[in-house]
Chains A and B, each alone.
Chain A
Amino acid sequence: MSTTLAFTPAPEAAPRSRMLLAQTAMEFRLLLRNGEQVGLTLLIPLLLELFFNLPLLYSLDTPRRIDFVVPSIITLAVMSAAFTGLAIGTGFERKYAVLKRLGATALPRSVLVGGKTLAVLLLELIQLVLVCGFGFALAWHPHGDPAPALLLVVLGTIAFGGLGLLVAGTLRAEITLAVANLVWLVLLFAGGIAIPLSKYGPAARDVLQYLPSAALSDGLHRVLQHGGDFPVGPTITLLVWAAIALPAAARWFKWE
């Protein structure tokens, strides 16, 4: 132990921008280091993209199956990263007192949440590149304006992220793990992702269309598959989910 330091106090918080950069980099590296997260957010969507493109389960009323599949898989990817992945990651950070320990540092909570959000968005960027790239390889032919599609992805991220934090901040980590995976599975099949809501009866459809997954999926299909205009209905639905989930998460989130 040849090194010595003078411990003379010199406390001062770093600029927020530096904290945000460091926190985002840390969160993002940890996401990529976690095998389950990588599987959930990167590998499974690609496998399902391949699988649903095969006319095995059901027929679609379209000759170009891949044009339906890619917007669905984008929805799945956003849900995986912003809801399931974020909920499970944050739940275990709460369990292992990571959030408690960070609460005793100069890192403001807003910067912590900001870092998590940016890490999820970075992950989604990789997802989009992979899912779309793979889609092009499978002869995907997108229509419409990509700008509303991107807006829907961001809105979906906020709504799903708020729901993920609400689950992670209120339930035990093990329960969060189970709930987040279960919801992921249920929304995959009943939330307008894998199976078009048109395959359901009108009564079920009237309810299911208001799920966040259905709204994001519907909006993306309208734009990317059918080249439609700005999808107002799905946008409003996602806004409402975000407006409920984020304040609820802020209100009930327990840090330890």
Chain B
Amino acid sequence: MSSAPAVEVVDLVKRYGARRAVDGLSLTAPAGSVLALLGPNGAGKTTTIEICEGFRHADSGTVRVLGLDPAQTRLRPRVGVMLQDGVGGYPSASALELLRLFASFAARPHPPQDLLEIVGLTSVAGTAVKRLSGGQQQRLSLALALVGRPELVFLDEPTSGMDPQARRGTWDLIRQLRSDGVSIVLTTHFLDEAEQLADSVVVIDAGRVVAQGSPAELTRAGAEGQIRFRAMPGLPLQSLLEELPAGSRAVETEPGRYLVSGDVTPQFLATLTAWCAAQEVLAEDLAVQRRTLEDVFLELTGRELRA
């Protein structure tokens, strides 16, 4: 059972009126890993995840969650859900009351007090849900998703509205979930979040998958790295190119400023700095520039990820 994918989506289509919110989307989330759906607002991330959660029905295509149809109610105890906007709990219940209620739905829940402490809400345990800040509501929502000890969690924009500290804490928690064997599917429009957390990233735009792979694969594919540095003008770049792999390039963009490009590996960088040492040159402001997912997204769609 553990080898079956946590989520499998094939040719998913969902229309709202004439608009295709999801337009032939396929993806696989392997069990025990973190899959990030990355894309701008309106790309179809939430629609896709809500179909996987059983809230919406696909117009066509197949969706399997833990090997089952998402409409199956026997999936519910096995799956934890964090909705995008707000907690989705009784507004006048306190944080602890709500967590206790959700714990009572599970046979072997996490102790609510402990879980509340882990998400940093102990000091507001008795506060009504509607009086929590946006970030606190997000953290409560995360705790509600986890309290029943699910094997798969869907986290829709888990850190939106959180301050930087809470955000890092949530990242640590997601990493721990993964190492404890929980499968995770999350949506985000934060690139660093996808890069930091995901084993695999599915880049979505206008309801379609435009790229997928590990963050390293996505940023490496088809891209060459660049190294910039500053030194005295007129370095003999031809001798550098003789030592670098074929296909590398080196130019002096303006007097004393250099741009070296190619398949930038650690060895590539070592060769460059060794050459500088041989020239008795101290390279200043040396910067290795890798492509980010932002660059990838921009190349694939011609748009900024965060409009």
Contact = CB atoms under 8 A, between A and B. Distances in A.
Contacts of B15: none
Interface string A93-110: 100111011011111100
A62 B84 CA distance: 61
Contact of A5 (B93, B114, B148): B114
Instruction: Tell me the interface secondary structure of chain A in the complex.
Output: loop
Interface residues of A, number: 38
Interface string A103-123: 111111000000000000000
A98 B92 contact: no
A134 B231 CA distance: 95
B151 interface: yes
Contacts of B83: 97, 100-101, 104
A207 interface: no
Nearest to B144: A101
- Identify whether the interface residues of B are mostly helix, strand, loop, or mixed: loop
A26 B89 CA distance: 11
A95 B275 CA distance: 67
Interface string B39-57: 0000000000000011100
Interface string A11-37: 111110011011100100110011000
A11 B150 contact: yes
Nearest to A92: B91
A76 B92 CA distance: 26
Contacts of A34: 92
A14 to B, nearest CB: 5
B167 to A, nearest CB: 14
Interface in A73-102: 93, 96-98, 100-101
Contacts of A108: 73
A12 B87 contact: no
Given A6-B180, A105-B76, A98 B88 contact: yes
Contact of B76 (A1, A5, A33, A106): A106
A96 B91 contact: yes
A104 B105 CA distance: 11
A1 B120 contact: yes
B105 A101 contact: no
A103 B88 CA distance: 10
Contact of A105 (B105, B114, B181, B182): B105
Given A7-B176, A11-B148, A26-B101, A93 B118 contact: no
Contacts of B53: 104
Contact of B105 (A1, A3, A106): A106
B169 interface: yes
B157 to A, nearest CB: 15
B69 interface: no
A11 B149 contact: yes
A8 interface: yes
A73 to B, nearest CB: 28
Contacts of B111: 5
A88 to B, nearest CB: 13
A214 B9 CA distance: 55
B102 A105 contact: yes
Contact of B104 (A4, A6, A7, A22): A22
Nearest to A4: B118
B303 interface: no
A26 B105 contact: no
A92 B166 CA distance: 30
A21 B110 CA distance: 19
Contact of A96 (B54, B86, B148, B150): B86
Given A14-B106, A105-B105, A3 B114 contact: yes
Contacts of B107: 12-15
A9 B90 contact: no
Nearest to A6: B180
Given A26-B90, A30-B90, A106-B77, A13 B118 contact: no
A65 to B, nearest CB: 39
Interface string B66-86: 000000010011110101011
A11 B80 CA distance: 10
Contacts of B90: 26, 30, 93, 98
Contacts of A13: 76-77, 105-107
B295 interface: no
Contact of B180 (A8, A29, A100): A8
A93 B77 CA distance: 22
A106 B53 CA distance: 13
12 contacts: A1-B169, A7-B110, A7-B180, A9-B181, A14-B104, A26-B90, A30-B92, A100-B55, A100-B88, A103-B54, A104-B55, A105-B105
Interface of A: 1-15, 18-19, 21-23, 26, 29-30, 33-34, 93, 96-98, 100-101, 103-108, 256
